[in-house]
Amino acid sequence: MTGPERDGSGPGIAVLDYGIGNLRSAEKALVHVGAAARLVRDPAAVERADGVVLPGVGAFGACANALRETGLEGAARWALGAGIPFLGICVGFQLLYEGSAESPDTPGLGVLAGRVRRLTGAVKVPQMQWNMLERRRPAPGLLAGLGTSPWVYFVHSYAAPVGEETVATCDYGGPVAAAAERGAVWGTQFHPEKSGDAGAAVLTNWLSSL
């Protein structure tokens, strides 16, 4: 499958397939909530998509390098620059920032300001658990309809900085950036595809913004 296929079931979503992690779980979760989502390896397919998803697990540098080596970094940058609705998940969310202490010499996409840092405090690293979100904005968006303190699932050792774009944090040795929104760019440090009904609602909210 080379790109999102319109079948009348929902918006065409390009899940960037750059060979890192279980990308198909993100694709299946999007299909479950009504999207015509497909894994894409052809950069040209991104131009035909209604929205783009960048998942990611593992090390920041490995993900950034794989995105570049597959030719999908340019497609991601094009989508971000063109204002195509874009969702980064876990390390895919971290890649939206300028860089990471995990891989100091590897640049991120740089559409959000700041650098990703290792989790701090008297906590076990990685955070691998369900945790409660604390909203920073009351406005609708990723967390619309989810109540004041939804529970979602995290697996990570590094986290983006808390900034103006941060719409929710979790408490793990201090406030940790858990979700962000800036214009058409949205991101989650947690895994919506592993977060049950709350995660499905997050993906539905993102699709509703397209």
**How is the chain split among helix, strand and coil, in percent rounded to 5?**
25, 30, 45
Between strands 86-89 and 99-100, the pairing is: unpaired
Q: Look up 32 and say whether it is catalytic.
A: no
Give which of 204, 196, 192, 207 is closest to 13, Cα–Cα.
207
Q: Look up 69 and say whether it is catalytic.
A: no
Q: Which of 63, 90, 165, 181 is catalytic?
A: 90
Give which of 167, 193, 163, 198 is closest to 180, Cα–Cα.
167
The residues with which 87 forms a beta bridge, in sequence order, are 53, 186
Q: Which of 73, 165, 181, 193 is catalytic?
A: 193
Q: Which of 73, 170, 181, 191 is catalytic?
A: 191
List strands edge to edge, sheet with 115-118.
103-107, 99-100, 115-118, 158-159
Structure token pair of residue 117: 């840092």
The span from the CA of 158 to the CA of 118, in Å, is 4
Q: Look up 181 and say whether it is catalytic.
A: no
Do 194 and 153 form a contact (C-beta atoms < 8 A)?
A: yes
Give which of 52, 48, 44, 54 is closest to 18, Cα–Cα.
54
Supply the residues annotated as catalytic. Answer: 90, 191, 193
